[in-house]
């Protein structure tokens, strides 16, 4: 059993090692592309506290005003989101209401993209904040006609709250891993809060025929594009493209969000993505086995510490580079603690996502 467990650890080390390499390979686009029209698409549901800030951020972009439009799709908001969006609409800020029988982010994006005037689509969420350079720097990558999809960096807003800092550390590891995988031309993940693609590619590859799945507007599209054009995907490793979003305020919200994220993973058809999820799960499950066995066996205790230290070292090496990029170095102090609890957390969330429902935007979703 010990040999098998350390073989799993070896696969994990190789995996993270390739992500370290892939992370370093990602580059900033060196062109300055200001002559293409762009459509920014936002699916909105119950974001009355956030939507004005996002609209204001878009209006302040350093990209030519005549070259962009903002399309907001209201997904049956029950608060004052729609009124706020309409109040701040202009000639290049449009608000669309979804039809009565249509709902969900995937449908909202499809409705929006079909009406977009531009070939380049930028997507973010209604609770996000973007820099004034966001549109210009994301569009730059499309100067290369071979690029179909750009995954952008996302980070949680700074906070002194312990729950937020722990979420931020985990989220940075996810973004870093997705960037590392893209760097080795084997994309696994992206985040719908910051991505861009060509309109014709979206209409061809979105294929959102699993509308019962609450999320997945980002990763399913990524996998479909990867299947046919694996080298047409890049990660925007540029500080000027970083999008900030809100962490969950409560443990309940956090668990609901992670259950939603994990629930869609069983529908992934990409072999490498499934392989990565199995290696990560088995590595953390193995740590739990060693931890429990260490209470009864001295050898298991020694092997647990060896296993833990090896995993800690490779994770620290990777996360340091990612946190430095996001200017979140202060989160390093949580890595040791995070390594201890993460194994239990990831196994628990995986099991919960397979067996229970979750609440998202006031809607209850079940498997």
The whole-angstrom separation of Cα 136 and Cα 120 is: 12
Q: What is the mean pLDDT of the chain?
A: 91
Kind plus residue range of the DSSP H or E element containing 303: helix 298-325
Q: Given this model, what pLDDT does residue 33 score?
A: 66
Q: Indicate whether 19 pLDDT > 80.
A: yes
Q: Given this model, what pLDDT does residue 209 score?
A: 47
The whole-angstrom separation of Cα 197 and Cα 147 is: 8
Q: Indicate whether 211 pLDDT > 90.
A: no
Instruction: Find the farthest-apart pair of alpha carbons in the chain and give their distance in angstroms, rounded.
Output: 71
Model-level pTM?
0.92
Domain boundaries, the chain: 2-21+271-352, 26-247
The whole-angstrom separation of Cα 173 and Cα 216 is: 19
Q: Given this model, what pLDDT does residue 292 score?
A: 92
CATH fold of 26-247 reads Spore Coat Polysaccharide Biosynthesis Protein SpsA; Chain A (3.90.550)
Q: Indicate whether 210 pLDDT > 50.
A: no
The whole-angstrom separation of Cα 340 and Cα 308 is: 8
Query: Residues 227-251: pLDDT tens digits?
Result: 999 999 999 999 999 999 999 988 8
Which of 196, 152, 194 lies closest to 36 in space, CA to CA? 196
HSE-CB at 233 with a 13 A cutoff on CA atoms is 29
The whole-angstrom separation of Cα 334 and Cα 347 is: 20
For 94, 109, 281, the CA distances from 219, given in Å and listed in that order, are 26, 14, 19
């Amino acid at each position: 059993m010990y040999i098998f467990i350390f073989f799993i650890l070896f696969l994990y080390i190789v995996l993270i090692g390739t992500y370290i390499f892939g992370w370093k390979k990602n580059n900033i686009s060196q062109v300055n592309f200001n002559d293409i029209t762009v459509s920014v698409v936002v699916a909105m549901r119950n974001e009355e506290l956030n939507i004005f800030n996002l609209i204001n951020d878009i209006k302040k972009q350093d990209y030519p005003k005549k070259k962009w439009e903002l399309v907001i799709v209201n997904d049956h908001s029950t608060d004052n989101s729609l009124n706020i969006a309409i109040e701040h609409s202009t000639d290049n800020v449009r608000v669309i209401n979804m039809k009565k029988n249509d709902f969900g982010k995937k449908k909202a994006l499809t409705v929006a993209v079909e009406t977009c005037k531009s070939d380049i689509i930028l997507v973010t969420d209604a609770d996000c904040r973007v820099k004034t350079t966001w549109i210009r720097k994301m569009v730059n990558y499309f100067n290369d006609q071979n690029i179909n999809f750009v995954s952008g960096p996302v980070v949680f807003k700074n906070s002194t709250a312990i729950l937020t800092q722990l979420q931020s550390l985990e989220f940075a590891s996810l973004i870093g891993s997705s960037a590392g995988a893209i760097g080795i031309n084997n994309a696994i993940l992206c985040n719908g809060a910051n991505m861009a693609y060509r309109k014709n590619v979206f209409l061809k590859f979105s294929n959102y025929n699993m509308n019962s799945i609450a999320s997945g507007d980002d990763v399913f599209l990524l996998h479909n594009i990867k299947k046919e054009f694996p080298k047409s995907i890049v990660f925007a490793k540029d500080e000027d493209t970083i999008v900030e979003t809100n962490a969950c305020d409560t443990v309940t919200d956090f668990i609901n969000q992670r259950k939603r994220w994990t629930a869609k993973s069983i529908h992934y058809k990409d072999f490498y993505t499934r392989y990565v999820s199995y290696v990560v799960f088995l590595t953390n499950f193995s740590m739990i086995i060693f931890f429990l066995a260490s209470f009864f066996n001295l050898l298991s205790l020694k092997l647990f510490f060896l296993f833990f230290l090896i995993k800690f070292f490779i994770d620290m090496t990777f996360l340091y580079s990612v946190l430095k990029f996001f200017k979140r170095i202060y989160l390093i102090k949580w890595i040791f603690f995070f390594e201890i609890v993460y194994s239990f957390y990831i196994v628990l969330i995986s099991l919960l996502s397979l067996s229970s429902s979750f609440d998202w935007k006031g809607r209850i979703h079940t498997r």
